[in-house]
Structure formats: structure tokens, C-alpha cells
Amino acid sequence: MLPPRCPICGVIVDADNRFCLPCWQNLDFLNEPWCASCGRPFAFAQGEGAQCVSCLKKKPNHDGVRAVVGYDEKSSLLPLRLKYGARLGVAELIGRHMLRFLDEIPSDALIIPVPLHRWRLWSRGFNQSVLIGKALSRQSGLAIKGEILTRKKATPPLRHMSAKQRRAVVNKVFEISIDAKPQLSGKTIILVDDVYTTGATADACAKLLKQSGAAKVLVFCWSRVLTGYDQS
């Protein structure tokens, strides 16, 4: 049996899906204070209900982002190794780190993964957001509903697009199942994804979920991009 290794640098560690000390110390773990609307971290506390500049201009459809870490060269390796290297144990690690955000979540909340289009699902073999959502469900006891939200249209890769371009691409891409409203009515939804970049995908999903009766939609993800994207 091969020894367990750090999922970032590959050095031998004492247990599966654990970071070595240097990699742990170099990760930018995100905590309060943060924007009341999008969860973007503030450098210092700004009072209850404070919003960032972007949310003051245009409030998102979701009710906040709970990202474990800030996105950088090191943290980006985990979702890449999950998606393209089939390192499925990474989903368990990410789910475990999301548990610290559950203090504000009611016990009847539902976990809903951001869906992949069926073509991409066939080519990859799995949806990384579903794997993370299932890990969080197992570890927390919250129900996961992977069939409620689907992606009806394939989209090109969004990596090099601006926020405005991303919003245009994901507009009307998602749909809600016909029997979803009774399940969503009055519920808090944990929308699970691996990386939050501009928020276009999460916002499109949150809009549909709220139109179908969800009371609140929080986005849980491994990492979020904090700089470098024009939100206009």
C-alpha cells in the first residue's frame, strides 16, 4: 500500500487527505468578517450588514459565499486533481473543511451541487461538485438533492471570460425539475461548487432556486477568486 501524501505537494503525511504543515500554513483560509451579501472577506470588521462595493452596486441572487480558502496557485491544485486526475479522496477533504460553515445552517437544509451538462459528465465520468456535496452530506447528515437542478445547455469553457461574458453564457443554461417546488419551499439551500470565480454560475443557479421557493441560497466552495476579474 502506498503511503498517504499531501494533496498539494505530494510529501508523505500521517493520514490520507491531510496537508503537510508547510502547505497548511500557506493556504489562505477565509473567515469573518465578510460581506453580508457575497461573503467576500473584509480586512477588518465594518459592522453588521456591511456590503462590499460590488454588492452595493448590484446585490447577488445568492445570500453569500462560504469558501474554505482564497484561490491561488497552491489551492487551485486540489480541484484540478479532483477533476482531471480523478483524486476522488479530495472531495472528502473539501467536504470536511466545509463543516465549519454549518453553524448558520438549519438541520433541514438541502445540499444541491452545481450540475454539469451530460456531455461533460460523460467525458469526465463524474461531477466534482456532486462528489463534494455527497461528502458534505455524509459528514453532516444533511440531505443532498442532485436531481433538482440540471444544466440543459452545454457551455464553452469560462476560464478566460470576464464576469459580463460569463453571465451572458450561463443565462438560461440551468433548469429546475418539475417536482422541485414542494422540496424547495421555505428551505435553505447549500449550493456546492469547487471554485467561485465571478459568481455568474452561482447567481444563475440561485435565481432559479429562489424562483422555485427556496428561502435562502448559500454557496459553499473550496476556493474563491478574490482579485483579477472585472465585475461589470
Question: What crossing angle do the helices spanning 163-170 and 200-211 adopt, rounded to 10°?
Answer: 40
Calpha distance 109→6 (Å, rounded): 32
Ordered DSSP codes for 176-224: E-TTHHHHHTT-EEEEE-SEESSSHHHHHHHHHHHHTT-SEEEEEEEEE
**Across 72-101, average pLDDT:** 92
Cell numbers describing residue 28: 489562505
Does a structural domain hold residue 191?
A: yes
Which domain covers residue 127, as residue numbers? 61-224
Residue 219 pLDDT more than 90? yes
C-alpha closest to that of 205 among 181, 180, 174: 174
Calpha distance 204→231 (Å, rounded): 15
Query: What is the dihedral angle through the alpha carbons of 47, 53, 54, 60, rounded to the nearest 10 degrees?
Result: 30
**Across 119-141, average pLDDT:** 86
Does a structural domain hold residue 30?
A: no
Residue 228 pLDDT more than 70? no
Q: Which position has the higher pLDDT, 196 or 151?
A: 196
Does a structural domain hold residue 8?
A: no
pLDDT at 69: 97
Q: Summarize pLDDT for 134-175 with one digit per residue, the tens.
A: 999 999 999 999 999 998 876 666 666 666 766 666 777 789
Residue 40 pLDDT more than 60? yes
Calpha distance 34→199 (Å, rounded): 16
pLDDT at 162: 66
Is residue 85 within 8 A of residue 165, CB to CB? The reply is no
**Across 174-189, average pLDDT:** 94
Calpha distance 51→74 (Å, rounded): 28
Residue 120 pLDDT more than 70? no
Does a structural domain hold residue 216?
A: yes
Is residue 110 within 8 A of residue 144, CB to CB? The reply is yes
Q: Which position has the higher pLDDT, 134 or 2?
A: 134
Give the number of domains in the chain: 1
Name residues whose C-beta falls within 8 Å of residue 6's C-beta, 6 or more positions apart in sequence. Answer: 12, 13, 18, 19, 20, 23
Calpha distance 4→42 (Å, rounded): 36
Does a structural domain hold residue 5?
A: no
Does a structural domain hold residue 219?
A: yes
- CATH number reported for the structural domain that contains residue 147 in this entry: 3.40.50.2020
- The percent of residues above 90 in pLDDT, for the chain, comes to 65
| Lowest mean pLDDT segment, chosen from 1-5, 12-16, 39-43 | 1-5
**Across 42-56, average pLDDT:** 90
Name residues whose C-beta falls within 8 Å of residue 225's C-beta, 6 or more positions apart in sequence. Answer: 71, 195, 196, 197, 198
**Across 85-92, average pLDDT:** 87
Residue 194 pLDDT more than 80? yes
pLDDT at 232: 38
Does a structural domain hold residue 21?
A: no
Does a structural domain hold residue 12?
A: no
End-to-end CA distance of the chain: 51
Residue 67 pLDDT more than 50? yes
The band of 86, judged by pLDDT with boundaries at 50, 70 and 90, is confident
pLDDT at 164: 72
Residue 130 pLDDT more than 70? yes
